[in-house]
Structure 1
Amino acid sequence: MCGIAGLYYPALAKPVDPARIMGMTDALAHRGPDGSGVWTAPGVGLGHRRLAIIDLACGAQPMVTPEADLVTVFNGEIYNFREVRAELEAKGARFVTDSDTEVLLHGWRAWGPAMLPKLNGMFAFALYDVRRQSLFLARDRFGVKPLHFAQLSDGAVAFASELKGLLAHPLLRRLPDFRAVEDYLGLGYVPDDASIVAGVRKLAAGHFLLLQRGKPVPEPVRWWDIDFSRRTAGKVKDLEAELIEHMRAAVRSRMIADVPLGAFLSGGVDSSAVVALMAEASKTAVKTATIGFAEADHDERAYAQAVADRFATAHRSRTVAADDFVLIDTLVAAFDEPFADASALPTYRVAQLARESVTVALSGDGADEAFAGYRRYRFFAAEERVRALLPQGLRANLFGRLGQVYPKADWAPRPLRAKTTLLALAEGGEFAYAKAVGVTTPALRDALYTSAAKHLLAGHSAERRYLDAMRQAPARDGLDRAQYADMRHWLPGDILTKVDRTSMAVGLEAREPLLDHRLVEFAATLPPSLRIRAGQGKWLMKKALEPWLPKDILYRPKMGFVTPVSAWFRTALAEQAAGLARSPVLAGTGWFEPATIEKLAADHKAGRAEHGRTLWQLLMLERSLMRLFG
């Protein structure tokens, strides 16, 4: 995997100092410890840091065509590059390397932006066309690989894999964007196309940006979208077989590497399925890595070991202690922006463990979004059935009143925690789901913000992205719309950002075979009854895997990487939680009411309320603001 950065002047071809590009790529050295390169011409400069994976001897970048008319820097992998290469060679292209990077150069010459749908992979790249004096920036379908850009005061457009690459340029103004803070507190991450630094944007997943000399900077163009509006038909057994073939092809295509390769193994359905298919395709024992927890109710090592034994993997595991919050500052540095998914801690640890023996690791990410694996999908689908039976006015009156009087019982068993469900039924489906995937509720954010902060928002809310995505989704029902919105926002903003930053921080390339676009497009056509049935998410996927995996792997309750942040804020981090109310960093923004933060910390410590996730958000925000803005 790699890091890329560069500058482009759309108005005038100003000189570009190679040292400036080198400074930007040096900030990304962790993404590419195996080499670096810079290429400049009037009005443009491209830089690269390389983690060598394919064609170790000849894949150096920036890569320039023999005619010196095209040059590219590329972060990612094109898994079908040999097929695309053969198509290009049939059209007369002559290749000089065995690298997937070169496919981009010849692909641009043959097809221009229309080459993107031909690529099966994870990528973010910049390609400069010398003759047209244009710069083409593109990002893969799901946003596996990141790309940030900003327009600087001297007219240049700067881009980099991570925010820290842009921050290395002295002309980037470091001012916070409070709307991004609202997004972060509402969703738990700063979403695609937004940034905590005002004026910086992320190129959204499935988009490209074509910059041309002498023309204004345009808006990015969407080149791919997932379609939930079509339905497939067929016998269940036939669909199971088709699903396994899609998964088999996805896994095998991602096992191509000229360096040691392995897998993350949690003991859950998704990573276990990936390991099973890797074992089928591999001539040697698959290398697997697992992180366990000292707390028994969070620990899945026994399940991971059972899968490792079943497929005879070369398995390694390590325990994460309950006080692993010592990683906080490491994560703040890795993510740049505030990031509140506390499972980043164990994800970093498992990447660290895997890197001791491999350079590439396959993960099981993406199946929950594609096949409706999250518990919230089952709840939302059930709520939507109720909404379909009763008009909005009656629901708002009946369930709204019940929800107001029903006690909030975070301590009770799940079936007795009805308050949230009753209030959700009183609302429209889109807004209810937007709140369900959020972290800090709109009401709590309203209590946290000062009047000046509310004025800065000018009506902006974190839930707006979800509302828009669900209302505009190419979909047939509520479950479709929820999955579509998650793929647009949650997947690139949380899941893929977490895996990219933690793996890149240790120089490891992570690959997500269950996000092969052909597999996900197939999943999107499945009727809801084949995604959720009898209280089981990922129903068809689990049925298809029954010959491969034992039922206690397939059908046990989903656990995931659960980090005990709530317990930390009642014990080891209790003082830090209380100190947030007195934080000069948070107070200096003028955004927050100190008395509200103080009450959150006190109520949480005393067990009167559950505010662990919000306190974690505020702690990570404080550390990020301190690092970014001093």
Structure 2
Amino acid sequence: MCGIVGIFDLQARRGINRELLSRMNESQFHRGPDEGGIHIEAGLGLGHRRLSIIDLGGGQQPMHSRDNNVVVTFNGEIYNFMDVRKELETMGYSFQTHCDTEVIVYGWQAWGEGCVDRFRGMFAFAVWDRNQQTLFLARDRLGVKPLYYALLANGQFIFASELKALKEHPDLPRELDPTAIEEYFGFGYVPDPKTIYKNVYKLEPGFCLTLKQGQMAIKPRQYWNVKFAVNPAPRSEKEIGEELVGRFREAVKIRMMADVPLGAFLSGGVDSSGVVAMMAGLSPDPVNTCSISFGDPAYNESKFAAQVAERYHTAHRVEQVDPDDFSLIDQLAGLYDEPYADSSALPTYRVCELAKKQVTVVLSGDGGDENLGGYRRHRWHTYEEQMRSWLPDSLRKPVFGTLGRVYPKADWAPKIFRAKSTLESIGRDSVEGYFHSVSVMSNELRGKLFSQQLKHDLQGYQAVDVFRQHLRNAPTDHPLSQVQYLDIKTYLPGDILTKVDRASMAHALEVRVPLLDHQ
């Protein structure tokens, strides 16, 4: 895992400030403490911080092609790089290293923008093609790796793995985006492609961007979208289960390649336990596993993790986290660079800290709930959709809307009597109902919190509009698939993967997510 940074002059081939580029690059030192490098030429500067995982002695970046016409800076892992390399070798390309970065260099020369379709992995990279005077950027399909960018008033396009690197540039605008504030107080994070700042963006998962000198338009292009195709051939549950296990095992296997110590997070839940089970079956040595425990038994799953560790004979480590440990709050704010409100950021930081004592690479179970419909809210949404289908809007909205308003918020009562949120959701349409179930602050509370000036600036914009925009492009009309799609486009990259990337990179730890293999 690494950090990348760049400055590209779209207006002219003016000189790049080496000191500024170095400062931007070094602000991400934690992402790659092993090595650093920069490349500068007229109108372009690229930087890289390296965490060495494969080909420890080679693979320095920015990496050049043999003819020096192509330069790459890359963050991530291409798990099928050996297959891609063999294909490129049959086309006449020769390789000088044993790392995956070089397949991006020659993949670009062979296939241009189409190279991204051949890569299987997690990545954010930039390719400079001197002959074409073109800069090409791409982010992996599901957003495991981050990529921020901005076009400055002076015509410079800047990009980096983290927002803090862009903030090193003195010309970066720092004006807050009112719609991003609304989205933050709705979701607890700022969903892609926005950031908390106006005119500063994240490249969305599954998107790429091509830039040429003299062309000031910034138009990201989607190269991949999740599919919900139904297999027309009927199959038994047993056959589907066997295929799932086979695909899962293969996704784990290709993520176990590393020239450094490897392990896994083990929470005791289904997803991480499944990852550890697959690793144990594929490794001749005990798998290194780690868990975080809590003193409060209501939140402590370490006993389940211990059962899995015992069953698969892992080399297991556990550390207890104090739920009242607030010492990290200021540090976490610096890590995330913009507002972020997931309370699990603290234990995630601690488990990464623990893992780094043993290993440099870990596999995690992230993505299983989004991919396989595992959240409780998915089940409740399907129930609510049934209720919506039974009653006409003219009756459902006023009746259930009123019931939701007057029903007490009985957090103290048994779960069967805690119906306020459900009643409120049924009183809304499908999109508003699901937003209500995932939002961290209700529309009513945001209305009370926001100043009149902020409300004026919003001009009626609401965070739920993020969902509506995504559903316009959703390749499915099935109620469950639609909310899975929304999670994959918002919660997964904006919350889960952001949390894991920042916490792991703070400790120079690489996290791989087999359940998010796009195949």
TM interval, short-chain normalised: over 0.9
Equivalent residue, structure 1, for 2:11: 11
State how far apart, in whole Å, the 2-side matches of 1:351 and 1:115 are: 32
Q: Is the 8 A contact 1:434 1:467 kept in 2?
A: no
State how far apart, in whole Å, the 2-side matches of 1:9 and 1:365 are: 38
Question: What is the deviation of 1:455?
Answer: 0.6
2:175 aligned with 1:170: no
Question: What is the deviation of 1:21?
Answer: 1.2
Q: Is the 8 A contact 2:186 2:463 kept in 1?
A: yes
State how far apart, in whole Å, the 2-side matches of 1:407 and 1:295 are: 28
Matched residue type, 2:126? A
Deviation by residue 1:299-335 (Cα, 9 ceiling, x = unmatched): 1111101000000000000000122121111111111
Q: Is the 8 A contact 2:32 2:508 kept in 1?
A: yes
Matched residue type, 1:17? N
2:368 aligned with 1:372: no
Q: Is the 8 A contact 1:126 1:138 kept in 2?
A: yes
Equivalent residue, structure 2, for 1:259: 260
State how far apart, in whole Å, the 1-side matches of 2:174 and 2:309 are: 48
2:250 aligned with 1:249: yes
Matched residue type, 2:501? D
State how far apart, in whole Å, the 1-side matches of 2:3 and 2:208 are: 18
Deviation by residue 1:595-618 (Cα, 9 ceiling, x = unmatched): xxxxxxxxxxxxxxxxxxxxxxxx
State how far apart, in whole Å, the 2-side matches of 1:254 and 1:150 are: 32
2:87 aligned with 1:90: no
State how far apart, in whole Å, the 2-side matches of 1:369 and 1:38 are: 38
2:305 aligned with 1:327: no
2:400 aligned with 1:402: no
Equivalent residue, structure 1, for 2:459: 458
Percent of aligned positions that are identical: 49
Q: Is the 8 A contact 1:147 1:161 kept in 2?
A: yes
State how far apart, in whole Å, the 1-side matches of 2:368 and 2:231 are: 19
Equivalent residue, structure 1, for 2:383: 382
2:336 aligned with 1:342: no
Matched residue type, 1:403? G
Q: Is the 8 A contact 2:126 2:136 kept in 1?
A: yes
State how far apart, in whole Å, the 1-side matches of 2:460 and 2:64 are: 47
State how far apart, in whole Å, the 2-side matches of 1:376 and 1:104 are: 40
Question: What is the deviation of 1:216?
Answer: 2.1
State how far apart, in whole Å, the 2-side matches of 1:431 and 1:458 are: 19
Q: Is the 8 A contact 1:228 1:476 kept in 2?
A: no
Deviation by residue 1:348-399 (Cα, 9 ceiling, x = unmatched): 0000000001000100000000001101000001111111222211211322
Deviation by residue 1:512-551 (Cα, 9 ceiling, x = unmatched): 0110001xxxxxxxxxxxxxxxxxxxxxxxxxxxxxxxxx
Whose helix proportion is higher, 1 or 2?
A: 1
Deviation by residue 1:492-515 (Cα, 9 ceiling, x = unmatched): 000000000000011100110110
Gap regions ≥5 residues in structure 1:
519-630
Question: What is the deviation of 1:470?
Answer: 2.7
1:570-585 → structure 2 map (5 Å cutoff): none
SS at match of 1:39: strand
State how far apart, in whole Å, the 2-side matches of 1:341 and 1:464 are: 21
Deviation by residue 1:266-285 (Cα, 9 ceiling, x = unmatched): 00000000000000011111
Q: TM-score, normalised by structure 2?
A: 0.98
1:548-567 → structure 2 map (5 Å cutoff): none
Question: What is the deviation of 1:195?
Answer: 0.8
Q: Is the 8 A contact 1:139 1:204 kept in 2?
A: yes
Q: Is the 8 A contact 1:95 1:102 kept in 2?
A: yes
Matched residue type, 1:393? S
Query: Aligned-residue CA RMSD in angstroms?
Result: 1.0
Question: What is the deviation of 1:471?
Answer: 4.2
Matched residue type, 1:358? V
Matched residue type, 1:487? I
Gap regions ≥5 residues in structure 2:
none
Q: Is the 8 A contact 2:195 2:338 kept in 1?
A: yes
1:433-472 → structure 2 map (5 Å cutoff): 433-472=434-473
Question: What is the deviation of 1:175?
Answer: 2.1
Question: What is the deviation of 1:204?
Answer: 0.6
Question: What is the deviation of 1:90?
Answer: 1.2
SS at match of 1:190: coil
Question: What is the deviation of 1:490?
Answer: 0.7
2:512 aligned with 1:511: yes
Which consecutive segments of 4 or more residues in structure 1 shift more than 6 A? none
State how far apart, in whole Å, the 1-side matches of 2:125 and 2:414 are: 48
Equivalent residue, structure 2, for 1:296: 297
SS at match of 1:517: coil
Equivalent residue, structure 2, for 1:307: 308
State how far apart, in whole Å, the 2-side matches of 1:297 and 1:187 are: 25
Equivalent residue, structure 2, for 1:235: 236
Equivalent residue, structure 2, for 1:358: 359
State how far apart, in whole Å, the 1-side matches of 2:472 and 2:13 are: 43
Equivalent residue, structure 1, for 2:77: 77
Q: TM-score, normalised by structure 1?
A: 0.81
Equivalent residue, structure 1, for 2:280: 279
Q: Is the 8 A contact 2:431 2:464 kept in 1?
A: no
Deviation by residue 1:383-420 (Cα, 9 ceiling, x = unmatched): 11111222211211322232233222122222111111
State how far apart, in whole Å, the 2-side matches of 1:322 and 1:365 are: 22
Equivalent residue, structure 1, for 2:180: 180
State how far apart, in whole Å, the 2-side matches of 1:425 and 1:322 are: 35
State how far apart, in whole Å, the 2-side matches of 1:67 and 1:111 are: 17
State how far apart, in whole Å, the 1-side matches of 2:120 and 2:87 are: 14
Equivalent residue, structure 2, for 1:194: 194
Q: 1:229 to 1:446 in 2, by over 3 A?
A: farther
Equivalent residue, structure 2, for 1:429: 430
State how far apart, in whole Å, the 1-side matches of 2:133 and 2:127 are: 10
Question: What is the deviation of 1:231?
Answer: 4.4
